Amino acid sequence: MFSSPIPSCRRGELAETEAELTALAGRPNAGLLDLRFVFWDEELKQVVTPMEKNLRLMAVLYPAAIALSALIAAGLAALLLAQSAREAAILRALGARKRAVRAAFVFERIAVTLAGLALGLAALALLRGRAGASLSGDSLLCAGAYLAGTLLGAALAAIPAANRPPLSLLQVRE
C-alpha cells in the first residue's frame, strides 16, 4: 500500500509532483480511512519561484559575463598597447623589425595577463578552499576567455602600433 515512495520534488517539477501526490492520495484504497491529501505549497512556491527565476537569469548572464570579460580583456590590451606606440617607435628607429616589435608587445601583454590570472586564481582557490570547495572549471574557463581576449586585442593593436611612422611620434610638437 505504501510501496510507492513519496516522490521527491525537484526544481521545476512542482506542478508535476503536486499532481502525482494528489493522484496517490486519491486512490480508492489509499488507506483504510478516507484519506485526503492537502498540498499546501504557497510558501514553498514563494521561495522557489524567485530562486528559479534567478537561476534562469544566471544561466543567461553567465555566458554573457564570460563574453564580456573577454571583450574587456581585448579592449584593455589594445588600449595599453596603443599607449606604448612611442616605445614601438623608438625600437623601430633603433632598427627593430616590425615583426619583432609586435611580438615583443604581444608577449609583454600575455606575460602580464598570465601573472594577473595566476594571482587571481590563487586568491579564488584560497577563498573557496576555506569554504571547503575547490576551483571550478568555470573559473578556469573564464580565465581562459580573458587570456584569449588579451591575445586577440594585443595582436590586433600591435599591427598599427608597429606601422605608424616612427619619426612623427618621436618629435617634439611645437
What's the min distance (Å) between Cβ of 167 and other proteins?
5
Residue 47: closest CA among 9, 74, 78, 19: 9
Q: Does 102 sit near other proteins (CB under 8 A)?
A: no
Q: For residues 114 and 167, which CB has a smaller minimum distance to other proteins in the complex?
A: 167
List, as one string, the DSSP characters of 112-129. HHHHHHHHHHHHHHHHHH
Instruction: Provide the CA 29 distance to its chain's centre, in angstroms.
Output: 53
Q: Does 94 sit near other proteins (CB under 8 A)?
A: yes
Q: Does 95 sit near other proteins (CB under 8 A)?
A: yes
Q: For residues 41 and 108, which CB has a smaller minimum distance to other proteins in the complex?
A: 108
Q: Binding other proteins by CB under 8 A: which of 87, 121, 128, 135?
A: 87
Q: Binding other proteins by CB under 8 A: which of 34, 42, 43, 174?
A: 174
Alpha helices (H) along the chain: 14-25, 42-83, 85-93, 98-130, 137-163, 166-170
Q: Binding other proteins by CB under 8 A: which of 4, 8, 134, 168?
A: 168
C-alpha cell, 122: 590563487
